[in-house]
Amino acid sequence: MTHQFPALSTEQKKELSTIAQRIVATGKGILAADESTGTMAKRFQKIKVENTEDNRRSFRDILFSVDNSVSEYIGGVIFFHETLYQKSHQGVLFPKVIKDKGIVVGIKVDKGTAGLAGTDGETTTQGLDGLSERCAQYKKDGCDFAKWRCVLKISDSCPSDLAIAENANVLARYASICQQNGLVPIVEPEILPDGDHDLQRCQYATEKVLAAVYKALSDHHVYLEGTLLKPNMVTAGHSCTKKYTPQEVAMATVTALRRTVPAAVPGICFLSGGQSEEEASLNLNAMNQLPLHRPWKLSFSYGRALQASALAAWKGQAANKKAAQDAFCNFSKLLNDITNSLASKGEYKPSGQADQTSTQSLFTASYVY
């Protein structure tokens, strides 16, 4: 058997584990505010706001300058490179604004997807070149965790064995590099909701992908206690004619996770995957109500679902700042109640007064972040 040389010191492991535990402390989740400039253009277009650096900074400032009580609901914020070096209206760097609230700062480090030749439009993710140097700089600049997104899809021929193996290996290499530089890696193998596949097909694909990812993480000597997983929920394809209940989605998702994700992983923070705020809430709540043993915290890492109502309330107008902040905080608190549902008896139910924004699907075909 090949001997494993020590990859991390005891002190490094302790730091990574502590950071990961802070992010997914009971009731807390992650705000994914790492959308690229191009993605922000699409968001702003919907509310008829020009995609300028100042407008992007202004919207981030709305999210980041909310009352300090938001730290009860949000354990970490993922930044985009541009945002990491922007300042609030008071002239304070955004990472300091977030850290002063007791929230952990993270950074998106991948460079987007690239096609895999000989496949049916499948991709891998770029950005390993120079990653160690970038991680070291981000650590100096206040970051304590990182995110890297790999994308897979479901069709008659996908996900292929090549795409699964390649993306699993890339995620493992990224995770290893992050840990060497003191950053907790969020491992994100997203299976897109595009297609007409049913729930069982998505569960099967999710299990195959996650099994490969954790085999690769083991092969690369990644310290699992110092990682977090950001997976898709197991849902039917967006074009599937059969509709499934939150309880069915929850059972399929948690079953897939129990079969593939080691208990050493501190937390699983689901991506919203284009679900409406209401859908994302109901499905997460149903998971936390399941009478199945779950050795990891089940929480959220939402971007679109956390920001949609705030963006709609803001409309690019400074006068709407308070309304936008209230919308963001209200949904964050709701998610806190859901993820802490064992203590609160998991009694979340839609109020029946949900506005149009909270129930509107946020699905985008072949979503690029």
Residues 121-134 have pLDDT tens digits of 999 999 999 999 99
What are the b/e assignments for 108-142, b being 16+ CB within 10 Å?
A: bbbeebeebeebeebbbbebeeebeebbeebbeeb
> Residues 179, 20: contact at Cβ < 8 Å?
no
C-beta of residue 232 within 8 angstroms of C-beta of residue 271:
yes
Cα–Cα distance between 239 and 250 in angstroms, integer? 19
Separation of alpha carbons 353 and 280, rounded Å: 17
Considering only CA atoms, which of 235, 322, 316, 317 is closest in space to residue 280? 235
In order of 70, 119, 121, 191, the CA distances from 24 in angstroms are 14, 37, 35, 23
Strand partners, 186: 147, 228
The 8-class DSSP code of residue 238 comes to T
What CA–CA distance (Å, rounded) separates 165 from 233? 21
Both tokens of 345, joined, read 């008896």
* Cβ density class 318-341: b for 16+ within 10 Å, e for less: eebbebbbebbbebbebbbbbbbb
Is residue 147 part of the annotated active site? The answer reads no
Average pLDDT, the chain: 91
What is the C-alpha to C-alpha distance for residues 24 and 308, in angstroms, rounded to an integer? 23
Q: Domain spans of the chain?
A: 13-343
Instruction: Tell me if 314 sits within 8 A of 323, measured CB to CB.
Output: yes
The pLDDT tens digits of the residues spanning 270-297 come to 998 878 878 888 899 999 889 999 999 9
Does 133 qualify as catalytic in the annotation?
no
Q: What tokens appear for 254 in the block?
A: 């948690």
State the Cα–Cα distance between residues 305 and 270, nearest whole angstrom. Answer: 11
Q: What's residue 342's pLDDT?
A: 41
Task: Count CB neighbours of 7 within 10 A.
Answer: 14
Annotated catalytic residue within 230, 277, 278, 297: 230
pLDDT, tens digit (0-9, with 9 covering 90-100), for 164-223: 999 999 999 999 999 999 999 999 999 999 999 999 999 999 999 999 999 999 999 999
Residues 304-323: pLDDT tens digits?
A: 778 888 999 999 999 999 99
Picking from 128, 57, 42, the residue whose alpha carbon sits closest to that of residue 92 is: 57
Cα separation, 339 vs 246, in Å, equals: 15
Domain 13-343 classified CATH 3.20.20.70?
Answer: yes
pLDDT given for residue 7 in this prediction: 84
pLDDT at 301: 92
Q: 266 preceded by cis ω (within 30°)?
A: no
Q: How many CB atoms lie within 10 A of CB 84?
A: 19
d(CA 167, CA 123): 8
- For residue 352, the model assigns a pLDDT of 53
Phi, psi of 108 (to 5 degrees): -75, 130
Q: Which one of 15, 166, 188, 277 is the catalytic residue?
A: 188
Residue 334's pLDDT is what?
79
- At 44, the pLDDT band (50, 70, 90 cuts) reads very high
Do residues 233 and 255 make contact, with C-beta atoms less than 8 angstroms apart? no
Structure tokens belonging to residue 45: 């277009």
User: Which residues share a beta bridge with 113?
Assistant: 125
- Residue 35, CA distances (Å) to 39, 80, 369 in order: 6, 6, 6
Kindly state the tokens that stand for 243: 């509709």
Percentage of the chain surpassing pLDDT 90?
78
Please, which pLDDT band fits residue 343 given cuts at 50, 70 and 90?
very low
Contact 324/237 with Cβ under 8 angstroms?
no
pLDDT band, residue 143 (cuts 50/70/90): very high
In single-letter form, the type of residue at position 134 comes to R
DSSP sequence for 120-164: SS-EEE---TTHHHHHHHHHHTT--EEEEEEEE--SSS-S-HHHH
Query: How far, in Å, CA of 44 to CA of 26, rounded?
Result: 33
